[in-house]
Amino acid sequence: MSAIEFGLDTFGGVTKDEHGAPVPHPQVIRDLVDDAVVADQTGLDFFGIGEHHRPDFAVSSPETVLAAIASRTERIRLGSAVTVLSSDDPVRVFERFATLDAVSDGRAEIVAGRGSFIESFPLFGYDLADYEILFEEKLDLLSKLLTEDAVTWTGTTRAALTDQLVFPTTANGLRAWVGVGGSPESVVRAAKHGFGLFLAIIGGAPERFAAYIDLFERAQNEFGRPHAPIAVHSPGLVAATDAQARELAYDGWFAMRRQMGAERGWPAPTASDFENEITDGALYLGSPETVARKIARTLKALRIDRFDLKYDQPVPHTVQRTSIELYGERVVPMVKELLA
């Protein structure tokens, strides 16, 4: 990755129609496919879709949606904004993404993570008491599968493999990342196994993650690994003006934060929290000029190879679509000019 890339991520959050009612899951998924086509047409570099298993997110099988996108796009790279590896099988993950890589002519990527929600663990019969060992062992196996050599592996979370080849093979290998939310142990694990680092910065000042990038680079040196790429993923919304962006996002942002806070024990959000996240935090919200300046500031503070805007804010889909167009057509060119 010789130049900074710019992408979009979505978790397939359920949008609202013009009457404020939730859009049905099938329509949300079809809208995502159309969104990716627009992203490809505006020249963006990556489109990522996350995996969830709960009613407020429509996508439980990102690879299937990405395959549909591959058939309608030409150049944009396609990947999971997270694959919940802990509750999946690494062999099947490799097979599905190798198949996507063939369908897309070499554009597939894997972002493996433990997931920010835990619904998949009981759904697929995994014990949360095994949270750490599941991810450690499965990431270790996935790293071996990515070599596309015969794999011999033993562990406690799945059947052993002996000189096992896995198919289909790929033309040029799969680019793979580990999604990290802020744990130093996860940063070191990604370096140990030779994955790229995909930082989910969803709150607070982005600059505080510079220490994690330093740690990642030091760990790669200590493990004798070549330096892998680093990406940042943060939420945002682009509108015609700062005031319009605030008005469009305000109610949905508060509703989302209250719901997540209730699930995770966070304090109730305040109006100052909203403003602080826009001005100094991880919410890239405003006019194209405002968002471009903030992204450029982040790119100057952090040594990263790709910036992904998580665009599926709790707003109507038409607002999301406008945000995608403004991001690709105006924000990204402005960022490149600011960094030139």
pLDDT confidence of residue 2: 59
Q: Using CA atoms, how far apart are residues 125 and 8, in angstroms rounded to an integer? A: 32
pLDDT confidence bin for 312, thresholds 50/70/90: very high
- Give the chain's mean pLDDT: 95
pTM listed for this prediction: 0.96
Looking at domain 5-339, its CATH architecture is Alpha-Beta Barrel (3.20)
Q: Is pLDDT of 288 > 80?
A: yes
Alpha helices (H) along the chain: 25-41, 62-70, 90-103, 120-123, 131-145, 184-193, 210-223, 242-264, 271-279, 288-301, 317-326, 332-339
pLDDT confidence bin for 215, thresholds 50/70/90: very high
Neighbours of 247 (CB within 10 A): 11
pLDDT tens digits, one per residue of 254-275: 888 888 878 778 888 899 999 9
What's the average model confidence in pLDDT over 137-160?
Answer: 98
pLDDT tens digits, one per residue of 176-199: 999 998 899 999 999 999 999 999
pLDDT confidence of residue 267: 87
pLDDT more than 90, % of the chain: 89
pLDDT tens digits, one per residue of 46-79: 999 999 999 999 999 999 999 999 999 999 999 9
